[in-house]
A = this chain, B = another copy of it.
Amino acid sequence: MSTSKPLNPAPHHIIKHCVDAAFAEDLGRAGDITTASIISADATTTANIVSRQPGIIAGMEVAQLAFTTANKDICFDILVGDGAPVAPGDVIAEVSGSAAGILIAERTALNFLGHLSGIATLTHQFVAAIDGTNARICCTRKTTPGLRALEKFAVRAGGGMNHRFGLDDAVLIKDNHIAAAGGIKPALVAAKAAIGHMVRIEIEVDRLDQLEEVLDEGVDVVMLDNMAPDILRQAVKMIAGRALSEASGGVNLNSVRSIAESGVDMISVGAITHSAATLDLGLDFV
């Protein structure tokens, strides 16, 4: 459950696009009318971003950009990096500079930071729950629309691995594809003929008899969908290293360890991106 490996950042142009869109949505046509009416344009202040819950932090670069977009001279000192754990009361960043800028950026920064840290935190709970097994936790395409790159980063910050980023960067053959193709073998043959040598292929199987057919044809990854731990164990034995195995479906914090102990390589969990609660963070003026 260590996250000490280097943490691939999200692309900067995506972070910038998301921050700009968030400000456009928050500032509307008139800007922060409360702050403009009350706060002197040259007032400065210092504030701390403080965690009010235990968790794992993700999104510090996003928060930083939010503040410096509001006012380029704001100084945002990162005290806790992405992927690091926090306890209630921990100061994760110190923000100083234009008081108006800090007030304008506060909610945008915290919305990103809380959302991404919530994902990192829930991911880490799954990662921790399978500590000591050989399995890895990974995400799915069940992400919040518009935020996939950032949420997949948050998964990495929480110690999880990324599944494919979209429909285009890996093949995942599901039951409907198999049905349309007329079977597992023709589906795999068609996919292999069409896609390039740098693309991995995964196929979903629901029953062990399908697995046999898959392994005969050969594939990179087998998704073992909604199987009980003992069936998973049989599947892993059948696969015998000829493909990576990925357990999927109905995974929660109660069930994940027994799934991991079945010997699967990967466990994909939609909940870490689609159902993580925000991490409670606040901005406290010093």
A interface residues with partner B (beta carbon < 8 Å): 5-6, 8-11, 13-14, 18-41, 43, 45, 99, 103-104, 107-108, 110-112, 114-115, 118, 136, 138, 141-149, 152, 161-174, 176-177, 179-181, 187, 190-191, 193-200, 202, 220-221, 244, 246, 265-266, 270-271, 274-275, 277-278, 285
Least CB distance from A65 to B in Å reads 12
CA distance A171 to B30 in the complex (A): 11
CA distance A148 to B25 in the complex (A): 7
Are B191 and A34 touching (Cβ within 8 A)? yes
Contact of A190 (CB < 8 Å), options: B10, B24, B38, B198: B38
Q: Please indicate the chain B residues that have their CB under 8 angstroms from the CB of A25 in the complex.
A: 29, 145-146, 148-149, 166
Contact of A145 (CB < 8 Å), options: B118, B147, B148: B147
CA distance A99 to B176 in the complex (A): 9
Give the interface SS of chain A, mostly helix, strand, loop or mixed: mixed
* Stoichiometry, copies per complex: 6
Q: Apart from A18-B145, A274-B278, list 9 A-B contacts with CB within 8 A.
A: A10-B31, A13-B23, A32-B168, A33-B195, A34-B171, A37-B194, A107-B167, A115-B144, A197-B200
Are B161 and A197 touching (Cβ within 8 A)? yes
Q: Please indicate the chain B residues that have their CB under 8 angstroms from the CB of A195 in the complex.
A: 8, 33, 37, 162
Contact of A28 (CB < 8 Å), options: B21, B29, B43, B145: B29
Scoring A162, A174, A176 by chain B CB atoms within 10 A of each residue's CB, the highest score goes to A176
Contact of A177 (CB < 8 Å), options: B34, B164, B200: B34
Least CB distance from A224 to B in Å reads 14
Are B180 and A43 touching (Cβ within 8 A)? yes
| Given A28-B165, A163-B196, A202-B198, A37 and B171 contact (CB-CB distance below 8 Å) | yes
Least CB distance from A74 to B in Å reads 14
Q: Please indicate the chain B residues that have their CB under 8 angstroms from the CB of A9 in the complex.
A: 31, 36
Q: Please indicate the chain B residues that have their CB under 8 angstroms from the CB of A40 in the complex.
A: 180
